[in-house]
Amino acid sequence: MEIKGKVAVITGAASGIGRAAAAELRRQGIGALGLVDLADAVHDVAAEITAQAGDGVVRAFQGDTTDATFRHEVFETLRHEHGPVNICVPAAGITRDALAVKLNKDKGKANLYPVENFRQVVEVNLIAPVYWALEMVAQQAEHRFTRGLKKWHPEEGTQGVVVFIGSVSSQGNKGQISYASTKVGLEGAASTLMIEAMFYGVRCAVLHPGFTDTPMVRALGEDYIENHVLPATQIKRLIRPEEIADAIAFLIRNSAVSGQLWADAGWHPMPT
């Protein structure tokens, strides 16, 4: 699907992969771009991307991606001002890393990973992205209905694309019981939604980035990155956010690609 002139929503757009994806879509001529983030920095990012060369409208929406009312308002605003959304990249995510079971060596008692942390990560990383995607599919379904169209036919061309942001942690990663669960969960969601959403001409895919130079990864600490991340990465450096953004754009443009794409720089878990 061509990016130029389309309407897109990106969550987690104030930093990291979301921010880089926004800049890339702007560079490729997106018609209207809704940037979503909980942080007020999303307004600065929108202003910065607006100042870049090219036409199109960039608008910031500050709010919680798990809030259904906020989500619906974002989509309705974009539909009212620019038409139905064609591209959805729900990139917002969090980590709450800790061992699944940690033994207190002094008392001999085992502590379980906090269930409230697990629920929070699931809400942000799995349920919210799926429902941002569903909101876009719903707009496309309603748009077809208003034009008297039913089942999509290939000669119409792709009408929409969802790119979920997975992770190499979906293969399993020490200390990430909740995060890894949500990222592998996106695979099942995308596979199911792809089957259903193609009725309206919407494709779905999952991009699994490796360790990327984002605030989330930098928060792991330089020692951890040097000793546990880079040695297990073939290119011996963190992936640049712009490289992941390029992969996102590729998934949007190339209709022959479905399922999962790994942008992992050859990373593999190290033996414990």
Mean pLDDT of 7-27: 96
Residue 59 falls inside a structural domain = yes
Cα 241 from chain centroid? 13
Which pLDDT value is given to residue 54?
Answer: 64
Whole-number average pLDDT of the chain: 93
Structural domain contains residue 162: yes
Question: Which tokens hold the place of 224?
Answer: 């951890």
Is 269 within the bounds of a domain? no
Q: What is the domain-level CATH number for residue 140?
A: 3.40.50.720
Tens digits of per-residue pLDDT, 49-82? Answer: 998 866 779 999 999 999 999 999 999 999 999 9
CB 20 within 8 A of CB 241: yes
- pLDDT value, residue 213: 86
Burial of 43 per CB tally in 10 Å (0-12, 13-18, 19+): middle
Q: Which of 5-9, 203-207, 261-265 has the lowest mean pLDDT?
A: 261-265
pLDDT for position 53: 62
**pLDDT number for residue 148:** 97
Residue 173 has pLDDT above 90, yes or no: no
Contact in structure between 212 and 238 (CB atoms under 8 Å): yes
Provide the 3-class DSSP secondary structure of residue 217.
Answer: helix
Which tokens go with 216?
């989330």
Q: Please give the residue range of the domain that contains residue 214.
A: 7-263
Would you state the pLDDT for residue 132? 98
Single-letter code of the amino acid located at 12: G
Can you tell me the mean pLDDT for 82-111?
A: 94
Across the chain, the runs of DSSP E, i.e. the strands, are 7-11, 32-37, 57-62, 87-90, 101-104, 109-112, 160-165, 202-209, 259-263
Whether 253 is covered by a domain: the verdict is yes
Q: Are 160 and 87 in contact (CB under 8 A)?
A: yes
Asked if the structure places residue 268 within a domain, the reply is no
Total domains present in the chain: 1
The rounded distance, in Å, linking the Cα atoms of 206 and 94 is 17
Is the per-residue pLDDT at 103 higher than 90? Answer: yes
For 28, 94, 248, the CA distances from 242, given in Å and listed in that order, are 13, 20, 10
* pTM for the predicted model, two decimal places: 0.93
Q: Which tens digits make up the pLDDT trace of 223-261?
A: 888 888 888 888 899 989 999 999 999 999 998 887 899
Determine whether 45 is exposed, middle or buried from the number of CB atoms within 10 Å of its CB (0-12, 13-18, 19+): buried
The answer to the question of residue 270 being in a domain is no
Q: How far apart are the C-alpha atoms of 96 and 114, rounded to whole Å?
A: 10
Of 95, 19, 97, 26, the C-alpha closest to 55 is 26
Looking at the chain, the whole-number percentage of residues with pLDDT higher than 70 is 98
Burial class (CB in 10 A: 0-12, 13-18, 19+), 234: exposed
Q: Is residue 1 part of a domain?
A: no
| CB-CB contact of 168 with 211 (8 Å) | yes
